[in-house]
Amino acid sequence: MLSHSKGFLAMNEKYKMPFDTTQTDIIVNAELPETREISVVNKTLLAKISSIIEGEVLYENDTFYIVKSSGAKIAYPYEAEGFRKLGLLWKLIRNGLLESGSILFWDEPEWNINPEHLPVLVDILLTIQRNGVQIFVATHNYNLARYFDVLREKNDEIVFYNLSKQDGVMCCDKSAEYIKLTSSVLEKADQALFDSVAKYVVENDNDKKNF
C-alpha cells in the first residue's frame, strides 16, 4: 500500500475505490508525524529494523522512502518487498502507534522476508508484546511459528491456534506451546520434506557404493 500511496487518499476520498478501510488505514497511520520522544524500548526496536533494511523510513512530498545508511534515498516502489514490509513496521513504531493498549494484526509476516531475518522479526514482535501490544499473526511458515516457541520468555503471553477442516467441519486446536499442537499441517509438511531429503541422501549414498 505504501508503494502506491502517492495521491491515494485524496483519490479514495473523491471516488469509490475498491479498498477496505483496513488498507486505507495503513496509509493514514504511516503518514502521521513522528513522535517527539522515543522510549528506550522503541529505540532498540527501530535500531534492529534499521540494521535489516539498512536505513530509516522517510515520508516526504507524499512519497515514502527508505534512506539508506550510505545516503542513498530509495522510493518505496523500487525497494525490495521484504524491506518495505519491515519499513512499515519501523514507521508505525516511530509514529508512536504501537504503544501499550494497541493491537497489531499481521497476515503472513514471513512473506518476502529473508529467512535469516525471521528470528529477529519474532524477537521484535515478542518485545512489542511485552510492551503491552496485543498481536495477532497468521502464518503458513513452520520456522516463524517455531521461533515464537523457542525465543519466548517465561512471562510472554502466547497462544497458538491451529485451524483445520476435518470431514467438512472447521476444527481449532489450541495450545500455549506450538510443539503441543496436534494435526499441524506445518509440522506435517516439514516432516515430509525431511523424509524426502533423508531418502534422497540414502539413495545417493547407495548409488555411489554401487558405482
Indicate the domain borders of the chain.
1-97
Number of neighbouring beta carbons within 10 Å of residue 49: 24
- Give percent of the chain above pLDDT 70: 85
Q: What single-letter DSSP state applies at residue 66? A: E
- Confidence (pLDDT) at 5: 53
Burial of 5 (C-beta count, 10 Å sphere; 0-12/13-18/19+):
buried
- Confidence (pLDDT) at 179: 86
Task: With a cut of 60, say whether residue 192 has pLDDT above it.
Answer: yes
- Confidence (pLDDT) at 7: 53
Mean pLDDT to the nearest integer, 6-17: 58
- Confidence (pLDDT) at 160: 94
Segment 57-73, tens digit of pLDDT: 998 888 889 999 999 99
Query: Distance between CA atoms of 73 and 210, rounded to whole angstroms?
Result: 58
Mean pLDDT to the nearest integer, 147-158: 94
What radius of gyration do the chain's Cα atoms show? 21
Closest CA to 106 of 79, 141, 155: 141
- Confidence (pLDDT) at 19: 64
Number of neighbouring beta carbons within 10 Å of residue 129: 17
- Confidence (pLDDT) at 12: 57
Task: With a cut of 80, say whether residue 135 has pLDDT above it.
Answer: yes
pLDDT band at 1 (very low <50, low <70, confident <90, very high): low
pLDDT band at 76 (very low <50, low <70, confident <90, very high): confident
Mean pLDDT to the nearest integer, 113-132: 95
Closest CA to 124 of 29, 37, 42, 36: 42
- Confidence (pLDDT) at 206: 67
- Tell me the residue length of the chain: 211
| Most confident of the following: 27-36, 53-62, 131-140 | 131-140
Query: Distance between CA atoms of 182 and 180, rounded to whole angstroms?
Result: 6
Task: Retrieve residue 35's grid coordinates.
Answer: 513522535
